[in-house]
Structure 1
Amino acid sequence: MFAGRFNGPPGSANGGYACGVIAGHVAADLVEVTLHKPPPLDTELLVELAGPVYEVRPAGGDVVAVAKPVDEPIDVMPPVLDIPADAVPALADANHPFRSCFTCGPDRETGDGLRIFAKRITGRSILADRWAPDESLADDGIVRPEIVWAALDCPGGWAAFDRIPGGVAVLGRMTAHIDRLPRVGEQCVVVATSDWHEGRKIGARSALYTGQGELLAAARAVWIDSTA
């Protein structure tokens, strides 16, 4: 079940968070999760092995997501440790399409949402922001894996949005690998970029580092242009 706190677009779970929860049911270091429908909130879901994949669905309902282990390594992008104090957010606050999103929603309070607002880095096709997780995101001081997936999600989405000016995209597929889970209060940096666009599909990569440049986690994703 995806609790209501962890929403993305109104009425559905944050895509990265949902993928991270689902990935936790797959015994592999590198897991790919494909979303077939918006992940429902506050709904009991079954995770069942169906041949080579795991299917996620409500009892008696249609498949919401499919997960599987994969072998293709993630092409990890480098950190950005010198984010300028005057760096501009990728999207103006007034134009945010999902203001209550758990990861990037500007209407979420500190200690509730992650409030990761990916910012443009002048002269580079990279977005970045600082993030320090709070204790509500952790067990025994260690941030839960699905929270790391959520932190990697929206920055890649904002990079994808840059390829469809004025449009909106939603997460279709996400693959992530976690080297180490961050600790509560640890100063982190999230970086993201978009590296391809084909039809309605847009590719993105993101990574989470400590403020000193230690790689914590990395992801690749496919976003779907929902305005095309």
Structure 2
Amino acid sequence: MTQAEALTIPAHIHGYPEIVFGGYLAGLLAAEAGGDTVRVDFRRAVMVGTPIRLSSPAGGRAAFTATDDTLLVEATPSVLTLDPRPTPSWTAAKSAVELALSGDRTVTDCYGCGLGCAPGRGLRLFPSELPGTRMMAAAWTPDAGLADETGELPPEIVWSALDCPGGRAAFVFSEMGSGAFTAALTATQLRPMYAGADYISHAWVIARDGRKHTVGVALSTADGELCALSEALWIEPRQG
């Protein structure tokens, strides 16, 4: 993308209905902001099918704005001091997926965890609780439809995979209320990730302060080598 280039996010890339999946937007901006670690702040909801503009001012900052120049999302270079929790085994992560798929799913079309998404049209990343750990985990083998022409997962896919599992962890372990959303996402990618390769996702709660929930998410190879790491702030809507 170039400075002030306009784009429209396709309708299937959503979390809540009609709202663009936050991790996807964050990954697009992170690629423009540069730097090893980037923080993305979500200022307003971005609707699917609505034109938005990219701008990349000096200093590594990148932003999405509405066509009337209203700031929607911005990214800046940052640091991440988070220590990831130990990666679960591939066997445990596969068991977590089996547990996630064994019950009724109330959300089936979320770009991150929707079972109704066709391969390549969603991540199909299905985290569930690992007994006795207070972590969510999932085994994940990305579909080729998510990768670029070389087979590598682009930043918007990696950042998407670093978003949704943290929300699941907060809902399960931090009693986060319905309607909560990602307010900020800080992440770093340590090594390339590829379609067809096996990965382990795990997520945990770091802290809670009223309506604010801080979570961590890690992506690792099936052998436990860390690929990407994020810390996110989720916020519950005000009551009433």
Whether contact under 8 Å (1:145, 1:181) holds in the other structure is no
Whether contact under 8 Å (2:53, 2:64) holds in the other structure is yes
For structure 1, the 5+ residue unaligned runs are none
User: In the superposition, relative to structure 1, how do residues 5 and 120 fare at CA in structure 2: closer, same or farther (>3 Å)?
Assistant: same
Matching residue of 2:206? 195
- Offset at residue 122 of structure 1 (A): 0.7
CA distance in 2, matches of 1:63, 1:90: 38
User: In the superposition, relative to structure 1, how do residues 208 and 63 fare at CA in structure 2: closer, same or farther (>3 Å)?
Assistant: same
SS in 1 for 2:156: helix
Letter in 2 for 1:164: E
Whether contact under 8 Å (1:155, 1:192) holds in the other structure is yes
Whether contact under 8 Å (1:169, 1:223) holds in the other structure is yes
CA distance in 1, matches of 2:228, 2:132: 25
**2:63 equivalent among 41, 45, 55:** 55
- Offset at residue 120 of structure 1 (A): 0.7
Pairwise CA RMSD: 2.2
Paired residues in the alignment total 226
SS in 2 for 1:49: coil
Matching residue of 1:20? 27
Bigger CA drift: 35-44 or 194-203?
35-44
Letter in 2 for 1:195: I
Matching residue of 1:204? 215
Bigger CA drift: 37-46 or 119-128?
37-46
**1:146 is aligned to 2:156:** yes
User: In the superposition, relative to structure 1, how do residues 63 and 134 fare at CA in structure 2: closer, same or farther (>3 Å)?
Assistant: same
Bigger CA drift: 19-28 or 157-166?
157-166
Bigger CA drift: 149-158 or 99-108?
99-108
- Offset at residue 73 of structure 1 (A): 2.7
CA distance in 1, matches of 2:39, 2:26: 8
User: In the superposition, relative to structure 1, how do residues 48 and 166 fare at CA in structure 2: closer, same or farther (>3 Å)?
Assistant: closer
- Offset at residue 86 of structure 1 (A): 4.8
Whether contact under 8 Å (2:12, 2:111) holds in the other structure is yes
Matching residue of 2:229? 218
- Offset at residue 227 of structure 1 (A): 6.1
- Offset at residue 49 of structure 1 (A): 2.1
Whether contact under 8 Å (2:13, 2:111) holds in the other structure is yes
**2:121 equivalent among 112, 122, 128:** 112
Sequence identity percentage: 31
Matching residue of 2:4? none
TM-score, normalisation: structure 1: 0.90
- Offset at residue 92 of structure 1 (A): 5.1
User: In the superposition, relative to structure 1, how do residues 50 and 200 fare at CA in structure 2: closer, same or farther (>3 Å)?
Assistant: farther
User: In the superposition, relative to structure 1, how do residues 91 and 18 fare at CA in structure 2: closer, same or farther (>3 Å)?
Assistant: farther
Q: Deviations over 1:161-211 (max 9, x none)?
A: 122266342111101100112112001110001111112110110000111
- Offset at residue 103 of structure 1 (A): 0.8
Matching residue of 2:85? 77
Whether contact under 8 Å (1:190, 1:206) holds in the other structure is yes
Matching residue of 2:133? 124
Letter in 2 for 1:171: T
User: In the superposition, relative to structure 1, how do residues 27 and 225 fare at CA in structure 2: closer, same or farther (>3 Å)?
Assistant: same
Letter in 2 for 1:219: S
User: In the superposition, relative to structure 1, how do residues 54 and 182 fare at CA in structure 2: closer, same or farther (>3 Å)?
Assistant: closer
CA distance in 2, matches of 1:53, 1:91: 43
TM-score, normalisation: structure 2: 0.86
Matching residue of 1:35? 42
For structure 2, the 5+ residue unaligned runs are 1-6
Runs of 4+ in 1 over 6 A off after TM superposition: none
- Offset at residue 51 of structure 1 (A): 7.1
Whether contact under 8 Å (1:25, 1:47) holds in the other structure is no
